[in-house]
Every structure is written in C-alpha cells, then in structure tokens.
Structure 1
Amino acid sequence: MKNLQMPVIERIELMTSRVPLPKGPWGDQIHHVTDIEVSIVDVYGSNGLVGTGFSHTSGWCGTTISALIKEIIPDVIGQRLSPRGLWHRSYKHVHDVGGAGVTTHALSALDIAYWDLLGKTLNTPIIDILGRVRDKVPLYGSGINLHLSVEEVIEQVKEWKAKGYFAAKVKVGKPTLEEDVERLTKIQEAVPYFPLAVDANQGWNFPQALQAFKAFDHLNLLWIEEPLPSDDITGHIHLRERVNTPIALGENVYNVNQFAQYIEGNAADFIQADLGRVGGITGYLDIAAVARAHNLPMTPHFVMELSASLLTTVPNISYSEMTDGGTWSDLRIFKSAGREENGYYIPSELPGHGIILDREYLEKYKI
C-alpha cells in the first residue's frame, strides 16, 4: 500500500470580523467587552481541500493579530502539510517580535487550520488522529455576571445545575469583600452541594488577593481564578504558599514556557489554556503534557466547541467551560459543531475539527 502523500499549502486567505455580543456588554473587575474580534484563516491544500482556523480577542487588536498572520503566510506557502513542523517553523520566524501574546494568537489561527486540513485529508476527525481517551467531556457553567443582582445569578446557577453541568463559576470584585462574601453565601445556600468557583479577572493586587482568599476560606470554593495580573508569576507563587483555596489561571498565559514556570512553582492548580491564544492545538497539547506530568487538570478557557472536543484526547482534565451566552454557537460565529447532552459536550464526527463557520454572518461584520 502506498503512503498517503500530504498536500502542500497553495494559498491562505484571511478575514477579520468584529462580532457583537447579542445580549449586551460583558464586564468584570477590569474589562468592558462589547464585541469579540475573530481572525479567520482558510488554508488551501494542493489536494483541493481547505482547513479553517481562528483566533480571537475581546473586542480589540484583532487586526493586529491578522497583520502578523499576513507576515507569516509567505513563509509557509509551498510547504508540506505538517501541523507541528509548520508551527515550529513559524514560531522561529516570529519569535524575535515576541514569544507570546500576539505571536501565539496568530499561530493559533494557522495551526487550527493545519490540523483541520490534516483531518480532512485523512477523512478523519482530529480527535481520532490524536487518539481519544473519552467520548464526551463534562462541562461547567460560567457566567459574566458581576453586573447582575444576586437573585439573577442564583437563577443562572440553578439553570446550570438543572442542565446537568458539574459546577458553576461566577465573577467577584464588588466594591467590598463583604458584598462578595454575601453574594457567594446566598448562592451556596440557594444551590447547595454544587461546586462553586469564582473569577477575579486579575483585579487584585497582592494584599487584596490575600485578604480575599482569607475572606472566602470558609466557602470551600472549587477555585479562585486569576487573582493577580497574569504575568505576575512570582506573586502567584507567593500567594499559593499562603492560602488554602486552589488557584486557576491560564486564559491570559500564552506559551508552554510560561505555563511551566507557573506549574513548577506550584502556583496553579487548574490549567486554563485557551486554544485561540496559546498557539492552537499544537501549543495546547504541549501545555497539557506539562500539566499531566504534574498531575494537574486541563480546564480550558472559552471556545467550548473546540476546547471540549480536544479534551476528549487529553487524559488529565476536569471540565470544559460553557460560557453562558458566550459559546461561539451563541455568538453565531459557528453554524454547526458538536452538541451538549446532559451536562456533557459530545464532539462532531465530521473530518477535521468538525466545526462549520457561519460565513454569511461573519461577512456581515467583517472589518
């Protein structure tokens, strides 16, 4: 039997869209988000197939990421399809302008497209190429709800539990810690025996974070997320040494070296890498391997439809995040993907990543 010849990359097309939030702005301690900007790439292979990838930002700098993608494209045209090989080729190419951040966002869009094209070339779902370890992934409900009343948040959490989700996450960062404690206490009283995590969105300095952890200690929270600015690795290490509640982070950490420093410093308990920010599937799998070596669970941020799909191939997981009103199907970025069922996500069985974009809607909001 002859070996299947991998296609070469003939051309790459790029589009950037600014997608509005259908239910109004999102807010937390440090953000006010009205749109999600999405950089979309279509990689055309010499076999006539097309792989699609994407990256995202919270409403700004999408065109900056797309500009870097344009710089990378000429270097990969004519290259043989090999996601890992292309990733490392491009990372070396762009590293001098930054090893993480815009560079890894740009690589994410390309890398996801490469893997999608590989799956379509082999007529196989990516998750089977990588090797499934499970058929479905548990979800937790996540709300961008700091602006909501406690009664509204309670109804949100009750709905998540009724849908079969395995835990809930809510925002903290009210003007006083007493108000945060009161809200969390009421949530736990209204929805007992349901694991509860909180997200501080990098909103505290070190003394504030230490005080908050102490104030929340009796609540036995599942985790406290992003208590400090995400690039303060030393601060997180010192904080974790002094508190009891687990720390979750990763949505604003961008490469395997940064994650390794957090993990080896015992500063993170739940690893929340974002596929659209860490260099795509290749970058994510590298981070998952480091986490697995330290017996820590992957608990990815955002883009549930792809993140949860990929978790079927990762041995060390906890849950995938279902952002209420913020899945990419809710935002109409995706036209079709896998499906939710009784608190689990079940991936698409189509070749590649199995996700179909809503091109007409995205074209409407093209930048």
Structure 2
Amino acid sequence: MDSQLLKVPTDKHISDSIHSTESVEIIICRIITVDGIEGTGFTYTIGNGGASIKAFLDCYVKKVIIGEDSGDINGIWNKIWWMSQPVGRGGITEHAIAAVDIALWDIKCLEAGKPLFWMLGGNGRPVKLYETNSGWLHYTQEELVESAKHVMKSGFYGFKIKVGKSIEEDMQRLKAVVDAVDGKISVMADANQAWQYPEGLRRSRMMENIGIAWIEEPFPADDIGAYQKLSINSGIPVAAGETIFTKYEFMRYIGAGISIAQPDVCRTGGITEWIQISSLCMANNVNIAPHFIMQLHAPLVSSIPEGIYVEYIPWMEKLFSEKPKIESGMIYPSMKPGTGVKFSRKALEEYNAEYI
C-alpha cells in the first residue's frame, strides 16, 4: 500500500457560510494484491488536513492491512475501524478508511471484470444531476440568476444556492432565482450549518412559501435536536449528511426526521459504510442525494432505488483519465471494470504536494 497527496485548484473562488477556498486536497491510496492487481482509492479535504490523513494511512493503516485478503472488505473495514477507535469514529480516520475501502472495491470489481454498479446490484441507469458550482455565497444576485438560467438551459434538474447572508438578502436572492427558472428546475438552499433553531425555523417557513425544494444543513451537524424540531415544525424537506461520518450518526438523523440524506462516500468510510447507510435510508423511506464526488456517486446512486440526485461539482474532472458521461442533465455510471475512477499520470505529477 502507498499513498499520495495532491493539492488541486478549484479553478474559481468558492465560498459558503463556513468555507472560503480556491483548492481541495486529494489523498490517494493504492493497494496491490499478490496477483498484481492494483486498486485505487481516494478521499479529499476542502483545502486543509490532507497531510494528517496521509500520515494516518502511512503510519497506522498500512501496518494493519498488509498481508490481509483483499476480498475480505468487511473484515478489513472493521479491523481499521476498531484500531482507530481511540482517536476516531469520524473525521480523519473515516477519511482514511474510505480511501482504503474504495481501493479494495476497485480491486474486487477488477478481479470480477465488472463495473461497480453491477457489483452493487444495479443496472447502470443514469441519474439526475443538480448543479452547485454556480451558486456560491459571494456571487451577486445578478450572477446567481444568470447561472440559474444557464444551468436550466444545460438540462440540469436542480440548482443549489448557498445562503448565510441577512434574511432579507438571502430571500431576495432565492426568490430572484425561483422566478427566473419559473418552476422548470428545482431550487435548493444550503446554509452550511449557519443558524440556530429559531432562525432556521423562521427562514425555512419563508423558503417554503416561495417553493424551495429543500433546506440543507441549517444547523451545526451535532445539533440533532434542532434538525428534529425543524423536521416536525416546517413543511420544507430537510437535507443533511455531508458532515456526518458513520451509519450510527445517520441512524440518529433519520430518527430525527430528515427527508434527504447526503452521505459522502469519501467521508463515511467508503463504499462499504455508504451501502449500509443507504440500506438504513431505504428502510425508513428517506431519499439519498449524496454530497460531491459525482464520478463515484454515479454508480452508487444508480444502484439504489432511493437515490434521487448526484451533485454536479466538476473540480476533480482534471484529475481523471476519463470524464463521466453527462447528457441532458443526467450522469451515467462507468461501464468499465472497477470503480470507474482512474487518475491520469499527468495529474498525479502536476498536483503532487509535499507537506512537512
């Protein structure tokens, strides 16, 4: 096993209520079996912390998995999970587990000669896309309206806007976009954990009145009680999950009444844990619209009945030897053996980062 850290520009400034950056970090994990089959996994950060994930992989995880049967994905997952308990159950450790787990699933698919969606029981159906990369908080109202019109003309099924300004300005911006698309595509609002409960309830009721499709992460991720109260007292669907890490956390959120779960395969310990989270959602009639990583979420969402959207954010496209097929606002899972995610040699060299 070896790992590599990349620093990748987003090609534009991005901002929401808690982030402001122009780059992301990608941590790659490569595993080679005794038969010479190489699997590639990865995870990411929004601009910092990647060196810590790489160090955890190199110093601790590598010792745990060397000599293990690559086909024992569940066993390896649990071995790393329990080894990391003193410092883990989320954050850096779940990111590291994800990189290993995705690499092991890549090996499993390559050995079988099948694409990931097939190995998960799917039929390769395309999935609807909604666009996030044009709705950042620092954009003017005019820029948001023009972006929404472009997204609509491009065939996407939804457009997500970052909120976190004053209530008056946020509502003006949202209403301007809703009016511009005139019901032809969905409009979502993402607060990125900006509010406390009273503010979130007030805003959600106003958003409901103008037809916002869902309100995402209105409260800090640890305040499950606020999510439960909002789910009960507001008619707008509540979405959450991009900043929670385990099936146990998702179980509590589902119990709190969220309508849309957003598990991120690179933050939830990889494909193995993501599948278990999707099973919880299916058993509780909760839809899934995962966060980011459209290349890998396409086959995952394609293989489950409760998957409704993949999020379009193209920051990572420059890293891969092949782009995903996107037509008429739909993304198609890769038909090639493996997870469908292959890094180009040029990108690995160009964006390689060394941190001390």
Q: State the TM-score, normalized to the length of structure 2.
A: 0.95
How big is the shift at 1:354?
1.8
Cα deviation 1:311-331 (Å, max 9, x = unaligned): 1111211111112xx3421xx
Aligned residues: 349
1:153 is the counterpart of 2:144: yes
Cα distance in 1 for partners of 2:320, 2:292 equals: 13
After superposition, what is the alpha-carbon deviation per residue over 1:29-53, rounded to whole angstroms, capped at 9, x for unaligned?
1111221011101100111110000
Following TM superposition, by how much is the alpha carbon of 1:359 offset from its aligned partner in structure 2, in angstroms?
2.9
Q: Pick from 301, 304, 311: which aligns with 2:294?
A: 304
Structure 1 counterpart SS, 2:5:
strand
Using the alignment, how far apart are the partners of 1:184 and 1:226 within structure 2? 16
Report what 1:359 is aligned to: 345
Compared CA separation, residues 122 and 337, structure 1 to 2 (3 A): farther
CA distance in 1, matches of 2:308, 2:124: 13
- Structure 2, gaps ≥5 residues long: none
CA distance in 1, matches of 2:256, 2:218: 16
Alignment equivalent of 1:75, drawn from 64, 70, 87: 64
Which of these residues, 23, 34, 38, is aligned with residue 46 of structure 1? 34
Once the two structures are TM-superposed, the CA of residue 231 in structure 1 deviates from its matched residue by 1.4
Q: Distance in 1 between matches of 2:343 and 2:266?
A: 15
- For 1:30-45, list aligned pairs within 5 A: 30-45=18-33
Is 1:62 aligned with 2:53?
no
- SS at 1:34's partner residue? strand
RMSD of Structure 2 on Structure 1 (CA): 1.3
One of 116, 120, 128 as aligned partner of 1:126: 116
* 1, 4, 8: which one aligns with 1:19: 8
Instruction: Give the counterpart letter for 1:206 in structure 2.
Output: Y
Question: Partner amino acid for 2:172?
Answer: E
Looking at structure 2, the residues matched to 309 and 347 of structure 1 have their Cα atoms a distance apart, in angstroms, of 5
Q: 2-side partners of 1:363 and 1:233: how far apart?
A: 42
Distance 1:131 1:292 in 2: 15
- How far residue 221 of structure 1 moved from its aligned partner, in angstroms, is 1.2
CA contact (8 A) 2:231 2:256 kept: no
1:177 to 152, 163, 167: 167
Q: Which residue of 1 aligns with 2:282?
A: 292
Q: Are 1:225 and 2:211 matched, yes or no? A: no
- Indicate conservation of the 8 Å contact 2:124/2:335, yes or no: no
Task: Work out whether residues 28 and 146 of structure 1, in 8 Å CA contact, stay in contact via their aligned partners in 2.
Answer: yes
SS in 2 for 1:336: coil
Q: CA deviation at 1:134?
A: 4.6
Q: Which residue of 1 aligns with 2:107?
A: 117
Q: Does the Cα contact within 8 Å between 1:251 and 1:274 map onto a contact in 2?
A: yes
Of all paired residues, the percent bearing the same amino acid is 33
Query: Which residue number in structure 2 is paired with residue 202 of structure 1?
Result: 193
Between the aligned partners of 1:125 and 1:163, the Cα distance in structure 2 is 28
CA distance in 2 between partners of 1:205 and 1:173 (Å): 12
1:328 pairs, out of 316, 320, 332, with: 316
CA distance in 2, matches of 1:354, 1:148: 33
Match of 1:349 in 2: 335
Please tell me whether the aligned partners of residues 133 and 314 of structure 1 are also in contact (alpha carbons under 8 angstroms): no
Gaps of 5+ in 1: 1-11
Alpha-carbon separation, structure 2, partners of 1:265 and 1:205: 16
What is the CA-CA distance between 1:248 and the residue it aligns to?
0.5
Question: How far apart are residue 217 of structure 1 and its match?
Answer: 2.6
> What is the deviation of 1:252?
0.2
Give per-residue Cα distances to partners, 1:280-322, cap 9 Å, x unaligned. Answer: 1011101000000001111010010111121111121111111
Query: For the Cα contact (< 8 Å) 2:178–2:211, is it kept in 1?
Result: no
